[in-house]
Structure 1
């Protein structure tokens, strides 16, 4: 394979997966470590990707950039509503559910108001407010406490300690980004720790992520793709990405 062809394929891998590792490229192309690093340098100079230690990532928002709740709630509204409706249909009456922070899970909360007998554990001020305003006597809401983030999540040691003392039937998890290389990610280190506690507390895990989350990588990984029993996304996700995710998550559903 010529150098130009190899670099084109590397660029496509980065666009598809969000990131690549030098070791994986060496094995894939059968070339030296130095050759791969030279390829990445050329592609970085062409603004195709960003070189990082041990590999490269796609060009996009900084891994630590965390938009506020209002900013995030204004984008992909229709997709988030479709995802929320599809995910809500998977929640049975009488279930103990954990709901993470996020604008898609906030939409989900509104769809769950008609589901009787729920016990809801959440680290989201916005999600808790949805259930509080409804005031159903058969709904029990447990708000974790913690330090507030720009996305109105409660995080940190208080939140983690509260979550680790609980066991829930189902987790409904919103994420900042997802990729084959990095899994499900967030730009907030404390939120990642809190979300990992939610993952560990749940017997079954449903991830809610619209198609724009594919290839976006936050600084910290919450879980691998294979840790999702179900991933609910929207019709904007391309065929190649659907095929990739189908091979990784337990079940892929389109809202």
Structure 2
């Protein structure tokens, strides 16, 4: 194959590839086109680009919307890594763990790759990518309808999809935790999987940086009283203890 050179040629080639598949792995495309990943990210920033880069993947530009996954991945990185470290310390050896989608849990995936867990279940492409080649655990990927904004797949029946796994611990992402203990996310389609994981797991924690506390997003998925607690860069908060302006008993 002749490698396309220049933005226009690369843009046309990537547009053609995206007509065949809904997303492309950034590193694979860079290798195929003979350019660096940074070159493709710069291409994606061009107003004429037919594609966008999100969380290590290339997706059609028309799917990007207001939620910028790449931007969220870069936000509060230190806090997210610290929160992930505290969360990893909660996981016992030989556990089966569910990891939700989001921009904090990929950091937890990296941390868990150094823990002797038995199995990791996820529906998040970014989490799966972080685990690839880095863990001895069995990684189970849940397929379904691809949602490019969050780099996640969503099955028609998430309860059935998770029922075959004996999940010990689930870690859920959250876009916000308001003053009444209500956890919300940015997309309605996320709710069903979060609820299924909450029902399937013996223990469930939400992992977030503290900037999300006191905020709210459009889609409600749980209350603090339904979880074991919250993990932030400040540590582990069982039942929300130590979090400002949050009422654990909210309904």
TM-score range, shorter chain: 0.5 to 0.7
> Displacement, 1:102?
1.2
SS at structure 1 position matched to 2:67: coil
* 1:205 and 2:204 are equivalent in the alignment: yes
CA distance in 2, matches of 1:178, 1:135: 31
Partner of 1:126 in structure 2? 126
Residues 205-224 of structure 1 aligned to structure 2 (within 5 Å): 205-224=204-223
CA distance in 1, matches of 2:152, 2:97: 17
Deviations 1:134-168 (A, max 9, x none): 152xx111111012221112124154531244331
Alpha-carbon distance change, 234 to 116 in structure 1, aligned in 2, over 3 angstroms = closer
CA distance in 2, matches of 1:156, 1:182: 28
> Displacement, 1:114?
1.2
SS at structure 2 position matched to 1:133: coil
Q: Which among 144, 147, 151 is matched to residue 146 of structure 1?
A: 144
* 1:74 and 2:90 are equivalent in the alignment: no
CA distance in 1, matches of 2:94, 2:66: 34
SS at structure 1 position matched to 2:162: helix
Ranked by relative contact order (alpha carbons within 8 Å, sequence separation 6 or more), the top structure is 1
Aligned length: 179
CA distance in 1, matches of 2:218, 2:106: 23
Task: Give the stretch that moved more between structures: 127-136 or 194-203.
Answer: 127-136
SS at structure 2 position matched to 1:103: coil
* 1:106 and 2:106 are equivalent in the alignment: yes
Deviations 1:102-127 (A, max 9, x none): 11110011011111142011111111
Alpha-carbon distance change, 122 to 66 in structure 1, aligned in 2, over 3 angstroms = farther
Residue 159 of structure 2 contacts residue 193 of structure 2 at CA under 8 Å; is this kept in 1? yes
What is the TM-score with the length of structure 1 in the denominator? 0.64
Residue 177 of structure 2 contacts residue 183 of structure 2 at CA under 8 Å; is this kept in 1? yes
* 1:155 and 2:154 are equivalent in the alignment: yes
> Displacement, 1:75?
0.4
CA distance in 2, matches of 1:109, 1:91: 12
Gaps (5+ residues) in structure 2?
1-64, 236-240
Partner of 1:179 in structure 2? 178
Residue 184 of structure 2 contacts residue 218 of structure 2 at CA under 8 Å; is this kept in 1? yes
Residue 66 of structure 1 contacts residue 188 of structure 1 at CA under 8 Å; is this kept in 2? no
CA distance in 2, matches of 1:243, 1:80: 18
> Displacement, 1:218?
2.1
Q: Where has structure 1 moved over 4 Å in runs of 4 or more? A: none
Partner of 1:229 in structure 2? 228
SS at structure 1 position matched to 2:132: helix
CA distance in 2, matches of 1:66, 1:178: 20
> Displacement, 1:200?
0.6
SS at structure 1 position matched to 2:90: coil
